[in-house]
């Protein structure tokens, strides 16, 4: 296998050859070219889509600059979330503290924009310079009569997963506010769906057709007031393995709302999600409507997919994504297109997740946690993948090696969830893998020549 740092040896395994349990949840080995981000990043991506809230980043300018409108999070209404607000701390603030600046910034912003709530993200140095962010937030909260919520997302305090947790704690504070407005007996909250490219709207439409009310979505196309009544929905439906399970657990403990985990990617997982929700309500009408929906969608989708499958059959894919739940779905969805997953990894998977990946993949598949470009390119080469599925930092690596790429991360511009999303996924993969440009790629030319020699 391609070279792996000694300290990371147990974060990579090949199915059928290695029998240890994959190590994970570790901080990246110091010195590795990690593809992972930090606590702040985790918090920011989870809360960001709440469109009518103010998002103020407390720290030096970088953290605000790098996260300004870089990730899709479509809103059907307000777009305050897409502005970049920062206290832009300078040397003097680092010496004398940033509290006054924070207070003034919050006051100016809340007076000017009248948001429904405000989040203050603490970045690395806030704890170190001793700012009492809690105190400032509660003071402004009192004065302005809106919730001002500190998010404890200092970058070094752990991994992106810890950032999700901090975000869940912050989001939880918005719940339980509205006990008056009507909520349907057949109601759910969607958790862990962020409307990167309009997916929330696709999913909401399915639930609507099933006769189920979506009380709130956390946080795709999110609104503060909707989250305020989320505690009265009957079920939490959690997508995305890492990010919002914590919130679901908190809401279960506090409000007694049960939750289920789902994935909206790929035909099986999408269908399973809808049936799981329908089963929960034990209502004949809902079940009937769900069956009809699935039948209509799947029978419309399959012939469209077959067109793409013709060309994709037998191709190999490498998958490196943020959450492991997504990785599960990818493996299954790729299989639907006739493709085999030969490398699969995630930034934040748990030991059980990787065991499950072992179950659903073929012998010889490389499974890895928190990989780096050198490793990843080694795995891709070794397993002769035709496609890499990943995020922004992986894209040019795939292209340099002369293989196809699909962004299944936050820079995707096509909705990839739901049945429609499965079609878009197939279309995008097909376009990349079968692109005529590869006939000019030296790697492909070599591979094809080898293939010809073999067949002669």
**Subset of 56-95 contacting other proteins (CB under 8 A):** 59-70, 79-80, 82-91, 93-94
Residues within window 178-237 making contact with other proteins, judged by CB under 8 A: none
Residue 360 touches other proteins, criterion: CB under 8 A: no
Cis-peptide, bond into residue 219, ω within 30° of zero: yes
The alpha-carbon radius of gyration of the chain (Å, integer) is 23
> Contact with other proteins (CB under 8 A): which of 9, 21, 135, 156?
156
Residues within window 416-455 making contact with other proteins, judged by CB under 8 A: 441-444, 446
For residue 88, what are the CA distances in angstroms to 56, 98, 212?
Answer: 10, 10, 44
Residue 310 touches other proteins, criterion: CB under 8 A: no
Size of the site for other proteins (CB under 8 A): 82
d(CA 414, CA 427): 10
CB of 173 to other proteins, least distance (A): 24
Residue 274 touches other proteins, criterion: CB under 8 A: no
d(CA 209, CA 200): 14
**Candidate ranges 106-114, 208-216, 261-269, 294-302; the one touching other proteins (CB under 8 A):** 106-114
Residue 25 touches other proteins, criterion: CB under 8 A: no
d(CA 398, CA 412): 16
CB of 129 to other proteins, least distance (A): 7
Please give the structure tokens belonging to residue 206: 């399915």
Residue 331 touches other proteins, criterion: CB under 8 A: no
| DSSP for residue 121 | E
Nearer to other proteins by C-beta: 27 or 351?
27
What do you get for the CA distance between the two ends of the chain, in Å?
29
Residue 287 touches other proteins, criterion: CB under 8 A: no
**Candidate ranges 23-31, 193-201, 237-245, 298-306; the one touching other proteins (CB under 8 A):** 23-31
CB of 70 to other proteins, least distance (A): 8
> Contact with other proteins (CB under 8 A): which of 12, 22, 24, 38?
38
Binding mask 361-390 for other proteins (x = CB under 8 A): ------------xx--x-------------
DSSP symbols for 421-446: HHHHHHHHHHHHHT-GGGGG-HHHHH
Nearer to other proteins by C-beta: 115 or 418?
115
389 Cβ neighbours under 8 A, 6+ residues apart: 317, 318, 319, 320, 321, 330, 405, 406, 407, 408
DSSP symbols for 165-176: HHHHHHHHTTSS
Residue 133 touches other proteins, criterion: CB under 8 A: no
d(CA 14, CA 33): 21
Residue 2 touches other proteins, criterion: CB under 8 A: no
d(CA 251, CA 227): 12
CB of 57 to other proteins, least distance (A): 9
Q: At what angle do helices 199-210 and 284-312 cross, to 10 degrees?
A: 140
CB of 403 to other proteins, least distance (A): 9
Residue 298 touches other proteins, criterion: CB under 8 A: no
CB of 120 to other proteins, least distance (A): 13
> Contact with other proteins (CB under 8 A): which of 12, 24, 35, 53?
35
């Amino acid at each position: 296998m391609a070279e792996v740092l000694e300290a990371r040896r147990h974060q990579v395994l090949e199915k059928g050859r290695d029998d240890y349990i994959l190590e994970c949840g570790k901080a990246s080995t110091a010195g590795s070219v990690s593809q992972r981000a930090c606590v702040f990043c985790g918090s920011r991506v989870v809360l960001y889509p709440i469109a009518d809230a103010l998002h103020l980043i407390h720290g030096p300018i970088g953290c605000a600059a790098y996260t300004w409108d870089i990730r899709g999070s479509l809103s059907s209404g307000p777009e305050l979330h897409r502005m970049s607000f920062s206290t832009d701390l300078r040397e003097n603030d680092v010496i004398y503290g940033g509290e006054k600046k924070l207070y003034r910034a919050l006051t100016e912003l809340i007076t000017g924009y009248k948001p429904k709530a405000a989040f203050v993200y603490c970045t690395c140095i806030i704890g170190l310079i001793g700012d009492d962010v809690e105190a400032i937030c509660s003071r402004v909260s009192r004065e302005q009569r809106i919730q001002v919520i500190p998010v404890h997302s200092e970058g070094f305090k752990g991994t992106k997963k810890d950032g999700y947790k901090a975000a869940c704690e912050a989001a939880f504070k918005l719940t339980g506010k509205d006990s008056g407005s009507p909520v349907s007996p057949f109601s759910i909250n969607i958790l862990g769906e962020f409307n990167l490219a309009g997916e929330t709207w696709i999913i909401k439409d399915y639930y609507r057709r099933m006769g189920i009310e979506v009380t709130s979505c956390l946080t795709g196309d999110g609104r503060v007031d909707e989250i305020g009544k989320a505690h009265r929905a009957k079920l939490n439906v959690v997508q995305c393995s890492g990010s919002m399970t914590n919130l679901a657990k908190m809401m279960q403990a506090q409000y007694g709302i049960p939750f289920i985990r789902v994935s909206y990617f790929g035909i099986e997982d999408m269908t399973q999600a809808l049936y799981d929700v329908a089963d929960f309500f034990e209502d004949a009408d809902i079940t009937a409507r769900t069956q009809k929906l699935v039948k209509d969608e799947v029978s419309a989708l399959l012939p469209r997919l077959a067109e793409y499958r013709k060309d994709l059959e037998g191709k190999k894919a490498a998958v490196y994504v943020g959450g492991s739940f997504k990785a599960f779905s990818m493996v299954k969805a790729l299989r639907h297109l006739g493709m085999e997953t030969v490398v699969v990894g995630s930034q934040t998977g748990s030991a059980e997740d990787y065991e499950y990946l072992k179950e659903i993949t073929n012998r010889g598949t490389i499974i890895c946690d928190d990989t780096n470009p050198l490793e990843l390119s080694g795995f891709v080469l070794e397993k002769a993948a035709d496609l890499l599925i990943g995020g922004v930092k992986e894209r040019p690596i795939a292209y340099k090696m002369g293989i196809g790429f699909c962004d299944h991360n936050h820079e995707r511009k096509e909705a990839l969830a739901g049945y429609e999303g499965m079609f878009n996924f197939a279309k995008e993969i097909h376009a990349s893998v079968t692109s005529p440009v590869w006939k000019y790629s030296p790697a492909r030319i070599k591979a094809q020549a080898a293939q010809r020699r073999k067949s002669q």
